[in-house]
Structure 1
Amino acid sequence: MLWAPLFTILAIALCDPCAALDVPRNINSIQWVDCASSVPQPFQGIPLPGALPPTLHCGRLDVPMDYSQPFSTNNKITLGFAMYRPSNPKGLINFNPGGPGSEVASYAWAVALNLSVAAPVSGLGDFDFLAMDVRGTFSSNPLNCTLGDLAIPSSFPTNEAEFEAYQAPVRAYAQSCIDQSTPKGIVAHIGTAETVQDWDSLREALCYDKMHFLGISSGTTGGITYASKFPQNVGRFVLDAIIPPGISNLDLVTSQIKAANRLLLRADAYCIYDPTCPFHSIGKGSVVQAFSDVLQQALAGNSSGVTVDDVRAAANIGYLSGNPNFPAFNLALYGALNGNWSALSYATFAPSYLPAFASSLHILCLDQHIDDNTFSGFNAIRQSIAKVDTAQISYVQDLTIIGLCGGWPYHGNSQIPLPTDAPMLLVTADFDLNTPTEFSTFEWAQAPNGVLVVRHGDDHGTVTVSGPAQSAEIAFLATGNLPSGTDETLVTIYTSGMERGPIADPYTAPIGPPAGDITSAV
C-alpha cells in the first residue's frame, strides 16, 4: 500500500512536472499529447519511424489571447509546441528561427529524430529543446485569412493614387483575417509583445527559473523583447542575425540598401573566385558592370517584357537575400545580356514569394511602427536611400514592408530601443542582406555587457554555417562562457568595452563554403 501514494505522485509529475512540487502557479498546466497525432507540417506525408523516440514530446498550453485581461473562455488561445527532452536536462533552450511566423515545432522533431538538419545544435543534447509555433500560426491558433487581391509588386508607388492602391489589398487581406479568425480580436494580439509572454508562460509551466534562447532573424526581436520584459528569467541568449527594436524606418531601409550594394560586390568577388562564372575572364568589376548593363537594357525596353523594377526585385528576392546564390545570379545576368531574361523576371519568383510573405505579414505589420504613413513620407525614404545606392538597386524588402504595412490596422512600437544588461551573444555576418550587419552594431550599444561575434562571410544566419562563429554560439549555450576577443580570418569577436572595426572588404573577405556560400547555380 505504501507504493500507491508514490505511484500517484509520479503519475502527476509526469503529466505536470510542477504538480509534485510546492510551486506557485500563475498559468495553466501543459496538456501533453501524442506526437503521432500532432505531426508538424514539414513531416506530414513522409515516412516516420514506427515508434517515435521517447525524447520527443508534444504539448498544448492555454494562455490568454490578451494578457492585459483575465484569462477566460472568451480570452483564450491554445499554443502548440514540441520538445526534445533528454534525461536530467541541464536547462531549457527556447528556439525560434524567425520568419517571422515560420513553422517551429518541427525543429524539436528534427533534434529528437537526429536528422542532419539538426546537426548545428547537436552539442546541446543535454538540454530541453523547446520549439513553439508562435501564436497565429500552424499549431498555435492559426489565423484564417484570404489572399484575395494581395500582391507584392516589384515597383513602388510614385504618387498618392498609386500609394493608396499599393496598400488597399493589404487592408482587404487584414479585414479577411479579422472577420474569419477566432477567437474574435485575435488579429490585434499576434505580435512579438504577446509571443514573449507566451514563452514565459511555457517557461513557468515547465518549472524553469531561467530560459536560454537561440533566436535567428526576427526571432532575435523576440529575444530582445523578452530580455527587456522578463530580465529576471534571462539565461544564455544567442541572437543570430539581429533585427533590433529602436531603428527608424529610414535607418532600417538605408542599412538594407547599403547591404544590397555590398552583396553585389560579393557577387563580383565570387565571380573572380569561380572559374565557371561567365564573366570570370574579365576580372574585377565585371558583375557590377553586367548588372548596370542589364538595368540599362531594361530601361530601354530591350528586355522581353521584363521591366527594370522586375530585375531589381528579382535580384533582391531571388538571388541576394537569405543564403545568396551568386553562381545563379551571375548566370542570370549573363543570360539577360544574351537575350534570355527569364531568370530575371519577377514573375518567376512572385508565386512562391507571395504566400510566404503573406504568412508573415500579420506579425511584420503588427510589430512595425510606421514613422510617416503618407506617400510623402514613403517617398522621402526612397529619395534618401538613392543617395547611397551606388548600383541603383533601389528595391529592398524593408521598404516594401514599410509601404505595405501602412495598410495594416495595427502597429507596434518598433521605434523604441530596448536596452538590456544581460550578457548576451550577438552574432552577425558582414554580408547579410536581410539583417544588415549595422543592426548588430546598434543592438550591441543596447546590450553593452554582450559579446559581438562578426562572421566574415555571407548568408542570413550563422548557426547553420560551420566554423568558429557557429562554435561560439553552441559553446555559450552549453556552458555559459562568453568567448574571448579575437580577430581571425573567418571571425572577429568583440568583447564588452571594445570598439567594432569597419565592415570587411567584399573582395578580401573569405569566399566559398567557409563563408557560407552556395557553390552551385542549381
Structure 2
Amino acid sequence: MDYSRPLSPNNTITLGLAMYRPAKPKGVLFINTGGSDPVAVAAWQFALGQTTEFSGLTDYDLMMMDVRGTYSSNQLNVSLEVFGGYPLEYPQSEAEFEVFRQASAEVFQSWIGSSSPPGIIQFVGTKEVVRDYEEIRKALGYDKVHFLGESYGSFRAQRYALAFPKRVGHFALDAVVPYGRNLYDEAQDHVNSVNRGMLRADAYCQAEPSCPFRDQGAGSVLKVFQKILANLKQAAEACTDPTDCPDLLPVPAVQQAMLSSLQGQPDFSTIIKALESAVQGDFSALLGDQGAPTVEGVVALPLECGDIPYNTYTYSDFKRALEVGLTRDVTGIGMTPTWQLQLYCSGYPFSVSGPPNLPISNNMLLVTADFDVDAPTEWTTFAWGNARNSALVVRHGDGHVSFLHESQTSTSITKEFLRTGRLPTPRHDTNVSVYSPGMHRPPVSNPYKVPILAPLE
C-alpha cells in the first residue's frame, strides 16, 4: 500500500488486472483509459469480441489494470450521499469558500473512515500507481513497456516516464492531462474549451435545416441558452418566499447540466432538442442525469486530489481565476471542471507535492482534438512543449479521447506508432494535422469550419 514502508500484513492491497495474451507477444502494452475507469474489464470485452477498439495491437500483451482504489483493485468505499453536501453555486466570498472546504473535509473524512485497509485514501495517487506499473513490468519480465494513456491515463503515463525513463517504449498520450501547468492557466484553458464546445453546437445548428434556432443566425444557440438563464434568474428574483416556488430551478444546476452535455462525446442534435424544450419550460431533457454525481466520477476525486496541491489554493486564487474566466466566457455556463476540482479537493486532509515540471526526453506521440471540452487542446500543446522529441497529432473534430474514434485517421496513426515506435511525418488535411518535433502548432481550428460527424454511440 505504502511503498515507503516495508511489506507487512497491514501494508498490502490487492491489485486487479487482466491481460490479452497472444502466443508470441512482441512486447507488452499497458493501457489506461483514464480517471477511475474500469480498465481491467476492457481486456475481457476485447477478448470476447465485444469491442474492436484494440484491433491491430493483438501481437502485444495487452495489460489493463484497475488503478488502486477502484473496482478489482481494493475499491474505496465512497458515498454519493455524502458527496451531495457540496453547494451548487461557486463561492462568492471567503466565508462561502470555507463552506466548500468544510464540506470537502467532511467528504474525505467519511471515505477515510469507511475504506480499508486503514490509511489507503492517502496512497491512491499517481505516485503509487506508477510504482504499481513498475512492479507489474518486473513481474512480467519485460525490459521496456509500451503505453496507451487516455485522458488521466496520460498523466499517469507521463509520471511513469519521468520516474523510469529507461523503461519507456512506445508511449501514446491521448487527450493529455499535463503535469506542471498551474491551475489558473488550466482553468482558462477550460474556459476556452467550453466556449468552443458551445460554438460547435451553434455550428451544428447553422448547418442543420431542422434546427429551430437556425433562422436567428450565427450565435443563436448561445443566445437561447443565455435567455433561458436570464428567465430563471428573473423568476428567482421574483420569488420572495421559496415555499411559494417549489418548482424553481437553481441556475447553477442548469449551467452544470449544459456543461455536462458538452463533455465526453457530445450529441448536438440532442442538445438542441433539450434547449428547445427548455425554452418552452420543460427542463427534463436538459437536466436528465446531467451533472448528477456518479460512482466513477466521485471515486476519481481521492485519486486526483492527491496528485496536485489543490488544497493549498486560497479563495483569492480561486476568485482571481474565476473573475478573469467569466470575462472570457461567451456561453453563460460560467463553470469549468478545473474550478470544480479545486473546490472538491479543497478539504483534502493530506499534504500534497505536485510533480516537478521536468522535460521528457523520450520520443512519444501526443494526440488531441480541437474541440475536446474535457481535456482542452491547449493542455496537449503544453505537454508537447515538455516533450520536444515527440510528435503532435491534432484530430479536427469533437469529443474526448480520439482513440475512441476508430475510423479516424488519428487512431490509425496512434496504432501505427504503438506498433512500430516510428513518429509520423507532418501532414495537414480536413481530418487531422501532424506536427514533428520542433514544429509550431497554429491556432485552434475555427469551430464553424470543421465538419461535424455523427456522435459515437
TM-score, L = length of structure 1: 0.82
**Alpha-carbon distance in 2 for matches of 1:153, 1:416:** 33
Amino acid at match of 2:16: G
- 1:356: how far off? 3.2
* Fraction of identical pairs, as percent: 40
**Alpha-carbon distance in 2 for matches of 1:144, 1:339:** 39
Decide which moves more: 486-495 or 377-386.
377-386
> Is this contact kept in 1: 2:147–2:171, CA < 8 A?
yes
2:302 aligned to which of 362, 369, 372: 362
The corresponding residue for 1:342 is: 284
2:266 aligned to which of 324, 327, 331: 324
Match of 2:265, SS state, is: coil
Structure 1 residues 512 and 161: alpha-carbon distance in aligned structure 2, compared to 1, 3 A threshold: same
Decide which moves more: 239-248 or 408-417.
408-417
Correspondence 1:469 to 2:410: yes
Structure 1 residues 109 and 348: alpha-carbon distance in aligned structure 2, compared to 1, 3 A threshold: closer
Correspondence 1:75 to 2:11: yes
Decide which moves more: 481-490 or 274-283.
274-283
2:192 aligned to which of 244, 258, 266: 258
**Alpha-carbon distance in 2 for matches of 1:127, 1:469:** 20
**Alpha-carbon distance in 1 for matches of 2:308, 2:258:** 25
Amino acid at match of 1:155: E
Structure 1 residues 387 and 283: alpha-carbon distance in aligned structure 2, compared to 1, 3 A threshold: closer
Correspondence 1:233 to 2:233: no
Structure 1 residues 348 and 131: alpha-carbon distance in aligned structure 2, compared to 1, 3 A threshold: closer
**Alpha-carbon distance in 1 for matches of 2:381, 2:137:** 30
> Is this contact kept in 2: 1:265–1:506, CA < 8 A?
yes
> Is this contact kept in 2: 1:310–1:344, CA < 8 A?
no
- 1:187: how far off? 1.2
**Alpha-carbon distance in 1 for matches of 2:356, 2:178:** 9
1:376 aligned to which of 308, 313, 316: 316
1:333 aligned to which of 258, 275, 289: 275
The corresponding residue for 1:108 is: 43
1:301 aligned to which of 235, 239, 245: 235
- 1:153: how far off? 4.0
> Is this contact kept in 1: 2:78–2:299, CA < 8 A?
no
Structure 1 residues 476 and 348: alpha-carbon distance in aligned structure 2, compared to 1, 3 A threshold: closer
Amino acid at match of 2:37: S
**Alpha-carbon distance in 2 for matches of 1:146, 1:284:** 43
Structure 1 residues 355 and 140: alpha-carbon distance in aligned structure 2, compared to 1, 3 A threshold: closer
The total of aligned residue pairs comes to 446
> Is this contact kept in 2: 1:243–1:439, CA < 8 A?
yes
1:283 aligned to which of 214, 217, 222: 217
- Gapped runs of 5+ residues in structure 1? 1-64
The corresponding residue for 1:127 is: 60
> Is this contact kept in 2: 1:367–1:412, CA < 8 A?
yes
Amino acid at match of 1:74: N
Match of 2:122, SS state, is: helix
> Is this contact kept in 2: 1:217–1:240, CA < 8 A?
yes
The corresponding residue for 2:240 is: none
Amino acid at match of 1:363: L
**Alpha-carbon distance in 2 for matches of 1:330, 1:78:** 46
Amino acid at match of 1:68: S
Correspondence 1:149 to 2:92: no
Match of 1:124, SS state, is: coil
- 1:392: how far off? 2.9
**Alpha-carbon distance in 1 for matches of 2:356, 2:323:** 24
- 1:235: how far off? 0.5
Match of 2:403, SS state, is: coil
**Alpha-carbon distance in 1 for matches of 2:283, 2:94:** 32
Structure 1 residues 241 and 376: alpha-carbon distance in aligned structure 2, compared to 1, 3 A threshold: same
- 1:224: how far off? 0.4
> Is this contact kept in 2: 1:368–1:411, CA < 8 A?
no
Correspondence 1:171 to 2:114: no
- Gapped runs of 5+ residues in structure 2? 237-244
> Is this contact kept in 2: 1:425–1:453, CA < 8 A?
yes
Match of 1:79, SS state, is: coil
Larger radius of gyration: 1
Structure 1 residues 411 and 213: alpha-carbon distance in aligned structure 2, compared to 1, 3 A threshold: farther
Correspondence 1:501 to 2:445: no
Amino acid at match of 2:74: N
> Is this contact kept in 2: 1:89–1:128, CA < 8 A?
yes
- Please show how residues 13-52 of structure 1 align to structure 2 within 5 Å: none
**Alpha-carbon distance in 1 for matches of 2:32, 2:174:** 10
Match of 1:123, SS state, is: coil
Amino acid at match of 1:108: A
**Alpha-carbon distance in 2 for matches of 1:510, 1:145:** 41
TM-score, L = length of structure 2: 0.93
**Alpha-carbon distance in 1 for matches of 2:92, 2:267:** 31
> Is this contact kept in 2: 1:234–1:422, CA < 8 A?
yes
- 1:310: how far off? 1.9
- 1:282: how far off? 3.6
**Alpha-carbon distance in 2 for matches of 1:413, 1:431:** 31
Higher relative contact order (CA 8 A, sep 6+): 2
| CA distances 1:109-163 after superposition (whole Å, capped 9, x unpaired) | 1121122x2x121000111000101011111111223444322543111223322
**Alpha-carbon distance in 2 for matches of 1:472, 1:313:** 35
The corresponding residue for 1:43 is: none
> Is this contact kept in 2: 1:247–1:415, CA < 8 A?
no
Amino acid at match of 1:122: S
